[in-house]
Amino acid sequence: MKLVLQETDGFNQAMTPYAVAELLNANVVSVENAFYPKMVIGINSRSEHVEIAKDFLRFALSEELQSVDTYEGFPVNAKALEMQAAADRSMAEAYTTYDIDGSTAEFAIKAYSEETANHLMELCKAATLCLKEDTQIETSLTESLQAYLNGQASVEEAMDAVEGSLKMYLAE
């Protein structure tokens, strides 16, 4: 069993993980229907410019703006999502070679099929668990696990260090 984790920022960028999955004869799945938002927008109810803010929000969520794949996430506008899923990606294809133990092999990142585009679109539609990056937690994990990765601590010792660090942080 092989596991590859990849955060993908749009349909064009998803071409590489799908090509890797094809190479490994693997499936692309979403973990717990989770996603990282690229942007969170809100309107302060006490703002003096609520109507202008609503106009901006309407534009930000519009089909017109979200129909362009800017590598900044997937569209939340349903029509734009369908439009991007169906877009021709042949201009974004790439080919390379790689060397493993003296053998050269080709690797192709191709425009994906309609079936693959629909699969990715369904993953987007099913995304319900909004995750938020927490740099303090990432720092805690990195620092606490470093001793294990360097062979200076056991897994249990490293996990105890992570737990202690996170308990302190989350208690604040």
Sequence ranges of the domains in the chain: 15-130, 135-171
Residue 129, SS3 per DSSP: strand
Residues 6+ apart with CB under 8 A from 76: 61, 66
pLDDT tens digits, residue range 63-120?
A: 999 999 888 899 999 999 999 999 999 999 999 998 888 899 899 999 989 999 999 9
pTM for this entry: 0.71
* Rounded (10°) CA dihedral 154, 157, 158, 159: 120
Please state the φ and ψ torsions of residue 152, each to the nearest 5 degrees: -95, -5
